A = this chain, B = another copy of it.
Amino acid sequence: MKRIFEIDPWKLTSHTFNKEDKRLQESMTSIGNEYMGLRGNFEEGYSGDSLKGTYYAGVWFPDKTRVGWWKNGYPDYFGKTLNAPSFIDLGITINGTKLDLAVNKISDFELTLDMHQGLLTRSFIYEGGDVRVKFEFTRFLSVVIRQAALIKVKATVLSGSAKIAVASGLNGRVYNEDSNYEEGFWDALGEDAGARSIQLRTKANNFGTPQFTVLLKESMRENNEKVEGTVKTAAGQLSESFTYDLGEGESFELEKDVIVVTSRDVADAEQAAEAQKLMDQLQAKSFDQNLADHEAVWAKRWESCDVAIDGDPDAQQGIRFNILQLFMTYYGQDPRLNIGPKGFTGEKYGGATYWDTEAFIIPMYLAVAPKEVTHALLEYRHEQLPGAFHNARQQGLKGALFPMVTFNGIECHNEWEITFEEIHRNADIPFAIYQYTRYTGDDSYVKDEGMDVLVSTARFWADRVHFSKRKGKYMIHGVTGPNEYENNVNNNWFTNTMARWLLSYTLERWPLADEAAKKRLQVSDDELAKWQDIVDRMYLPEDKELGIFVQNDTYLDKDLRPVSSIPADQLPLNQHWSWDKILRSPFIKQADVLQGIYFLNDRYTKEQKEKNFDFYEPMTVHESSLSASIHAILAAELGKQEKAMDLYKRTARLDLDNYNNDTSDGLHITSMSGSWLAIVQGFAGMRYNEDGVSFAPFLPKGWTRYSFKINYRGRILAVEVADKVKISLLSGADLTVKVWDQEVALKEGQTKCLKD
């Protein structure tokens, strides 16, 4: 655990600069606008240890898969998150000395990420003997003109006089740190000194996936007036120089406006013109006006999603940071995009999406963002159905298998036990359709495109099960459950339960599907009968004596013992134990049986929940960032308030406190919904079904108050939990909600106050 930013409700601020925390600082001050994003690298460059990273959404590279021993069905390529051409560079010299915080003496350092504005600022005083210069940097990625980055540097000579040279750069000579042989993945297409632009293309590949072309353009302003410096170019690079001779007290403020367009939206030949058009649009307003527009969008978002916590400033900062980072990664703008595990904050993990999106993020997005945001995420999977059919075919199976890791729908990860065993995703991903439909009450998706997804995955499952003659049951062998600390297990209760759910839900929705969908999908009576038979005779391992569902066939034969029996210096297991020892141990990485109980919460009795929680939680090491929140929610439901709080704490400031000691690689974007879920579904006990929404709130020990807002079927509801519980219908039609066992009828503008 390491905390480098000060506690503040709306800001990440630091007044110290520690070189050894540079990567951590960079991860935490990453900013993005869904279209692109970058780590908190310094504009002037930095010669010390640093991870330079700029990422354009949906721009990736298919890197050759390398494995020790090839097996039929392995994907040909691994989708690599691509470090993209950098546009923030503002190289600076002061009287010939390079500005470089790894080397220079500085004072009065301040670095702030304003979470309300999505704005990054930095200032410090350069101490060059007699010469002291104050530098102030400001930057943001516009959420209004998504192709635009706005960067500003102000320099003020505090003492002495200084000749300050600024070289504004666009730089396509970038590399992935995780590449196998320091390969570059970009080819320069050309530089246009006059237009201040460079164009590049990703290297050719043999996998039939598209090459991407990008064009970066800059234009400089001083006091809102365009200025032009001296331009130099090299392959894939452009640099524009400005020089200032300043006496004491004098200053300059140079603004760098950047436009980035890519072949995802604009054909190669039209990119220059499109960039010019966008630059004109951007420069029709001043920096401050553009910032105000940007901030207004953020303000509107915060209005309907903010969570306020009194009595726990750490928690307050944590939840806002998580919401900010999620929204900077994805807000439904482009249904071709999704939420990668590191978002725009690092290059680790390939692919743009995992099952994390549907399982852990959609439940939050449904409540905090307009329903179109979630709808776009559903569309993403529908668009990728051709890839999913390909994946199933590769395994010799019918129907569609959604990938574990992908950019384009085709599985691109090569770890067998994950890619082709962790197939529970093929029910979890469609489960989002069920969640969307139940929460929004909008069944237009499930009747049409959603039915394509349901039937195609149902066909996969019907082929993937086999019938055990000996047991007279359908079984699913050779899977990895959510607990990735076991693999190739048989009859994982969660996987079997979710596969059965998928078939059952598809059977339930099929008669209600649009005629066009029915015609398109041609489900035969035999198919329906087969699905029903699987639903009726699916094997779901259970131990009646213990009163629990059994994680998988031979789990109970293990040397069962609690995590408390492991010496503290052997935790986390994944850093101390061999993989062999981990796999054979009873210890659980993240919710597995309990994930199923979380998903299908209304199907299990309190006793069932309790017995399973009490059995499995003590053996769970929570070494996935996705684990603690689910457990916190169930603990809260079972009245284990202290346990719920303990678990919540593991998710609330995972990155801010560098809990897993790996935030320097980038943020855990897809885990960021965890603290929201723990508060809203956990502490406040929010549940929903077709008929409505309910709460069962409590106030965690130490907190004096917390409140949050949710979108619900066109309304904004506010919930405040203190010594009393207040529910307000801020906008929208009349609504009755349930709080504990009370029906609370609300009219627009009305607040009701309740006590347990």
Contact = CB atoms under 8 A, between A and B. Distances in A.
A395 B180 contact: no
Interface stretch (A331-339, A413-421, A679-687): A413-421
Contacts of A488: 417, 487-489, 583
Determine which residue in A71, A180, A574 has the highest number of CB atoms from chain B within 10 A of its CB, and name it.
Answer: A71
Contact of A477 (B74, B413, B554): B554
A67 interface: yes
A554 B553 contact: yes
Determine which residue in A65, A416, A477, A580 has the highest number of CB atoms from chain B within 10 A of its CB, and name it.
Answer: A580
Given A72-B579, A395-B580, A581-B395, A557 B478 contact: no
Interface string A54-67: 00000000000111
Interface string A484-519: 000111100000000000000000000000000000
Contacts of A560: 469
B415 A557 contact: no
Contacts of A417: 488
A578 B394 contact: yes
Please tell me how many copies of the chain the complex holds: 2
Determine which residue in A414, A557, A576 has the highest number of CB atoms from chain B within 10 A of its CB, and name it.
Answer: A557
Contact of A580 (B66, B420, B471, B554): B420
Given A490-B557, A557-B475, A559-B467, A581 B68 contact: no
Nearest to A423: B580
A578 B477 contact: no
Nearest to A579: B71
A396 interface: yes
Nearest to A421: B580
A470 interface: yes
A643 to B, nearest CB: 26
A715 B631 CA distance: 72
Contact of A553 (B181, B420, B553): B553
Interface string A546-561: 0000000110111110
Interface string A442-476: 00000000000000000000000011111100010
A327 interface: no
A251 to B, nearest CB: 50
A69 interface: yes
Binding site secondary structure of chain A: loop
Interface string A568-584: 00000011111111111
A249 interface: no
Contacts of A584: 466, 477-478
A416 B579 contact: yes
A499 to B, nearest CB: 14
A249 to B, nearest CB: 56
A581 B468 contact: no
A579 B468 contact: no
A66 B67 CA distance: 6
A684 B2 CA distance: 73
B65 A471 contact: no
Nearest to A475: B557
A78 interface: yes
Contact of A66 (B180, B471, B490): B180
A580 B426 CA distance: 15
A395 B582 CA distance: 10
A73 interface: yes
A72 to B, nearest CB: 5
A687 to B, nearest CB: 36
Given A557-B470, A580-B395, A584-B466, A65 B66 contact: no
Contacts of A559: 466-469
Nearest to A476: B584
Contact of A395 (B394, B467, B578): B578
Interface in A557-616: 557-560, 574-584
B558 A468 contact: yes
Given A68-B67, A470-B557, A557-B470, A73 B578 contact: yes
15 contacts: A66-B66, A68-B78, A68-B414, A72-B575, A72-B582, A73-B578, A395-B580, A397-B580, A416-B579, A466-B559, A466-B584, A469-B559, A487-B488, A488-B488, A554-B554
Question: What 9 pairs between A and B have smallest CB-CB spacing?
Answer: A73-B578, A71-B579, A488-B488, A466-B559, A468-B557, A395-B578, A68-B414, A66-B66, A478-B584
Interface of A: 65-69, 71-74, 78, 180-181, 394-397, 413-418, 420-421, 466-471, 475, 477-478, 487-490, 553-554, 556-560, 574-584
